[in-house]
Amino acid sequence: MPVTYYHLVFTLPSEINGWMSCYPEVIYRLLFESVWHTLCQFGQDKKRLNGQLGMLSVLHTWGQTLARHVHLHCLMPGGALGNDGNWHPAKSTYLFPVKALSRHYRGNFVSRLREAKQQGLIDKIPNEAFNQTLNQLMGKPWVVYSKPATYGHDKLIDYLGRYTRRIALTPNRLIGLNGNQVTLKYRDYRDGKNKVMNLSSEELLRRYALHILPKGFMRVRYHGFLANAVRAEKLHEIRQALRL
């Protein structure tokens, strides 16, 4: 039985970009936790897959212009390992309803932010400004993408792999230097066109530094039946269930 793989992306709203300069480790950690909790809730739902999911997740913090654009890429096999030892395949082309994922993800992440604030982990933001921002975020949809990797999960892994050990900018995007001005190319995903922008060297370095992760923070993580501690055992069970 072939297994379809899915590519999901969970994006953080730009309204909290400023908080990440002070609390990157807290917010990035909450992003991983909230996304996995959201997907687990959907995967364990008896009306959906009724089982344990597996996931590879990769943190990206940048957009094409090197501005802060924090999002989590997820690669997931399209199904779950049930408690009965059977493989429960995905029932739709989008794995889970995107709007429902967005609402659950939003509520869970905001709840975790409030808890972190109460624990003193986010202590430099005034309470009034903090609550006002969260109330605004609860009133808008959060961006979630979910599509089957019809082009092949191996190509998606290659794409994600390019960003696991380097940050934001590759040498081939730098096309000119004139005094203090650096010229680089980027892709504008709003219209799909390749464009050129000029930045001062100081601004380029400032944007680049936005994406340096806290020391020891893991950008790539494995979850569920793909977690390191259980992967070999669980994959053996799944292969047996799929008769591979």
pLDDT tens per residue across span 9-47? 999 999 999 999 999 999 999 999 999 999 999 999 999
**Segments making up each domain of the chain, as ranges:** 5-168+215-242, 169-210
- End-to-end alpha carbon distance in the chain: 8
Burial of 41 (C-beta count, 10 Å sphere; 0-12/13-18/19+) = middle
Bin 6: left if φ > 0, else alpha if -120 < ψ < 50, else beta: beta
pTM tops 0.85, yes or no: yes
| C-alpha–C-alpha distance, residues 97 and 99, integer Å | 6
Residue 158 has pLDDT above 80, yes or no: no
Q: Render pLDDT for 176-202 as a digit per residue (tens, 0 to 9).
A: 988 899 999 988 888 889 999 999 999
| C-alpha–C-alpha distance, residues 154 and 141, integer Å | 31
Residue 153 has pLDDT above 70, yes or no: no
Arithmetic mean of pLDDT over the chain: 91
Residue 152 has pLDDT above 70, yes or no: no
Of 129 and 165, the one with more pLDDT:
129
Q: What's the confidence (pLDDT) of residue 92?
A: 80
Q: Render pLDDT for 70-107 as a digit per residue (tens, 0 to 9).
A: 999 999 999 999 999 999 999 888 899 999 999 999 99
What number of residues does the chain have? Answer: 244
